[in-house]
Copies of this chain bind each other. A is one copy, B any other.
Amino acid sequence: MFKANVVVSLKKQVLDPQGKQIQHALHDLGLSSVKSLRYGKFIEVELDSASREEAQEQLDAICRKLLANPVIEDYRFDIE
């Protein structure tokens, strides 16, 4: 059994209205030290793969097919 953490985030050149909104809310709360904020997804996965290489391939497929939209999002993962 392999455990992996996947991070899906918007590409740098893509606007992040949700992140901007959070930043505005933080300023309203008096937390104005935040200079930039980007909002993404974090997915913890447990995989029943035969090997680390297989887990890596499966995670790549999972990200490409479902978790990330490759047009606007990047993904990365690390296997524990």
Contact = CB atoms under 8 A, between A and B. Distances in A.
Contacts of A1: 35
A49 interface: yes
Q: Copy number in this complex?
A: 2
Interface string A31-46: 1011111111111111
A31 B48 contact: no
A66 to B, nearest CB: 6
B66 A48 contact: no
Given A33-B48, A47-B35, A9 B42 contact: yes
Given A25-B66, A31-B62, 10 more contacts: A34-B62, A35-B47, A36-B45, A36-B46, A37-B44, A39-B41, A39-B42, A39-B43, A40-B41, A40-B43
